[in-house]
Chains A and B, each alone.
Chain A
């Protein structure tokens, strides 16, 4: 069974304090790993797709990396507007639906 575990469950940062979120996964043949952002009262919004170990993607203050067992979402010099829940999901080969982790709730304090 495909599984995704995210840590920590919640993270509180001061503005400008860089950190990383972790996503560990087990999947029967990885097709892709996905990061989404979810704001309160809204649906998840797509951020990145990573397909192979060693791949990196960047968007503003966010950088996602991938190894054979886990992915990291690095947040550099975060701002209060980066506060959200960040969800990780995996897709196994065979065009199966995404399996999501429970997310990390990030709070950035000014």
Chain B
């Protein structure tokens, strides 16, 4: 298996632009998580899905952030409009129920908002 695949690896955009991050989880995994990592705050959970259904989005910082999972093999995290404080590394992770929370992470998307 190729693991969790995220795209793009790097994204540089200007304030006010729309940003879309993409994630393909490991086949057969029924949980998908979006995390954001910064030096100041560490790794923070934004939202997670179970069987394509959003379970908890309380970590989404504000209405500018939205996430979807239209099917078991694809998820997006969208920021509109983007702001400089959104600059961070965004990780997607997946796991299988009963997997002892052994999360499998993608390589992340480094987002820079100028």
Residues of A within 8 A of B (CB): 32, 34, 36, 41-46, 49, 87, 91, 97-103
The answer to whether A97 touches B56 (Cβ under 8 A) is yes
Query: Can you identify 15 A-B contacts, CB atoms within 8 angstroms?
Result: A32-B100, A32-B101, A41-B107, A42-B107, A43-B91, A43-B105, A43-B106, A44-B43, A44-B105, A91-B101, A97-B33, A97-B48, A98-B101, A100-B43, A100-B44
The answer to whether A101 touches B101 (Cβ under 8 A) is no
Interface residue SS majority, chain B: strand
- B93 is contacted by which of A43, A91, A99, A102 (Cβ under 8 Å)? A43
The answer to whether A45 touches B33 (Cβ under 8 A) is no
Q: Which residue on chain B has the smallest CB distance to residue A47?
A: B102
Contact with A along B25-60 (1 / 0, CB 8 A): 000000001010000011111001000000010000
A contact residues around B44 at 8 Å (CB)? 100
The answer to whether B108 touches A103 (Cβ under 8 A) is no
- B105 is contacted by which of A32, A34, A45, A99 (Cβ under 8 Å)? A45
Most buried by A among B35, B43, B107: B43
Q: Give Cα A32 to B102, complex, Å.
A: 11
